[in-house]
Amino acid sequence: MPGITLERHDGVAVLTVDNPERRNALDPGIARDLIDVCDEVDADPAVGAAVVRGAGGTFCSGADRAVLDSGQPQAGDETYKAMGLVYRSFHRVGQLAVPTVAAVRGAVVGAGLNLMLATDLRVVADDAKVLAGFLRIGVHPGGGFFTLAGRSAGREAAAALGLFSETLVGPALVEAGVAWQAVPDGEVDERALALAGRAAADPELARLAVQSFRRELGPPAIPWDVAIDFERPSQMWSLDRRAAVTDP
């Protein structure tokens, strides 16, 4: 059955959108599973990082067309709740208590791009193809797309993707600031796991650090002087903890 699978590798939780027959599209059932799995990850203090990926070599093709084209008014109770659940699912990924890495292979479209941008870092295949595509099909962007794209890559990339339906492939995603690294397709998962593993080596510290990362950079970002004071308690805790370990 389509859903979300969860595996653990040395403190790294691997969340896989497993709906390959529909190119890993998000429907209400999968969205609910994703929210539940995120809750499970957060409840496990041994998990220090997470990797988000799609099954079958495709990341995510967006919201299932049965949700987008239900034939019912979008403001109707059932349709409104179904789309809201899809939005909540990738928003929940963005709220995970641990640093997150997207392992991106194949195609990323529409709400799938929101899911990708909800993570803290992206590793993409050098042939991965990313297209927001909302306006191309006569749909206004949703799920806070412009905020997600703008905070990751800035105004130009957000406009190119969201307003002008540009397609970015592999290295172009890195150049635009949408992704951290482009690697051969067969190396994506391994590289994402390696990066996540660094944070997962110290789950308690990773969970504190990612809170500071997200709150300081926003949106909205906080001023530097505020950030200094905001980080101070967590840094003091980490220094005291280190001293307790190293002192004879």
Digit-coded pLDDT (tens) for 127-171? 999 999 888 888 889 888 998 999 888 999 999 999 999 999 999
Instruction: Please check the confidence at residue 248 and state whether its pLDDT lies above 80.
Output: no
Digit-coded pLDDT (tens) for 22-32? 899 999 999 99
246 sits in which H/E element: helix 224-246
Percent of the chain that is helix, strand, coil (3-state, to 5):
50, 20, 30
- Between 222 and 158, name the one with better pLDDT: 158
Full-prediction pTM beyond 0.75?
yes
Confidence of residue 247 (pLDDT cuts 50, 70, 90): low
Give every CB contact of residue 155 below 8 A, 6+ residues apart in sequence.
none
pLDDT of residue 68: 65
**What percent of the chain is predicted at pLDDT more than 70?**
96
Query: Are the beta carbons of 48 and 199 closer than 8 angstroms?
Result: yes
3-199: CATH number? 3.90.226.10
Digit-coded pLDDT (tens) for 73-93? 767 777 788 888 998 999 999
Does the CA dihedral 49-216-220-121 come out positive or negative?
negative
Digit-coded pLDDT (tens) for 172-184? 999 999 999 999 9
Average pLDDT over residues 212-231: 88
Distance CA 63, CA 65 (A): 6
Give every CB contact of residue 9 below 8 A, 6+ residues apart in sequence.
193, 197
Average pLDDT, the chain: 92
CA distances from 158 to 71, 109, 197, 238 (A): 30, 14, 30, 37
Query: Are the beta carbons of 35 and 93 closer than 8 angstroms?
Result: no
Instruction: Please check the confidence at residue 72 and state whether its pLDDT lies above 80.
Output: no
Query: Are the beta carbons of 13 and 51 closer than 8 angstroms?
Result: yes
**What percent of the chain is predicted at pLDDT more than 90?**
67
